[in-house]
Amino acid sequence: MSIEQNSIDQNSVEHRVRLELDGPVATINLNRPAKLNAMSVAMDRRLNELAYVINGNDSIRAVVLTGEGERAFCVGSDLTDLDGYGTSWQYRNRMDRNLDYPMAIFKIRKPVICAVSGYCLGGGLEMFCASDIRLATKDSSFAAAEITWGWHGGSGATQLLTKIIGPGHATEMLLTGDRIDATEAQRIGLVNHLYSDRASLLSAARELAATIAGHSPIAVEAVKKLVRVAQTSSFEVGLAYEN
């Protein structure tokens, strides 16, 4: 069944992907802890909708992305719900229908701080990589686990992970599917900062978001764009764009 044919209880979807506003800081909370915040097709659609809401709201200047519960930030897609994307061809072109949840995070123009507690696997790792600043608790773990199912991550996993931690570390993670702990993730540059528990993690994420939100919004969005230019262009091109 295609996504267009699915009937969705919008209230239940909103409950599973909550948007909370605190002044200029928006918090996106994946709220499906019983399923380790695995992403359903309906949640995917909701997250894409929120990206447009955030981009179109000038009062929002920074975003915190997190998952409810201490066991997992997100373990990726709910494999029992993949048929909801339609045929393999439709799934391949899901970005054209705004149905690619890591890319929903990537296309948010405001800075995104991802705060991870617990498992961060598959599509969860892709959302983590699509964020701008990455925080985690000390008991978190990370894996690009798709290879163990017979495929590779298709929402920026091979591209974003390589840019963040380099080809050697990225290739090892992508080809083994092995989980790494938070200390190793910080050592290789995947995580910016580690915290003892979820409460201190969220407090630090919101404090950091508030600091960023206090700066000129045009300058902040420009910095985010320029950092991406630096990752994909030569120094000369990046410098010209900066100037």
Annotation says 146 is catalytic: yes
d(CA 85, CA 97) in angstroms, rounded, equals 10
Catalytic residue among 126, 184, 236, 242: 126
Annotation says 126 is catalytic: yes
Catalytic residue among 146, 184, 221, 236: 146
Structure tokens at 171: 């290739």
List active site positions: 126, 146
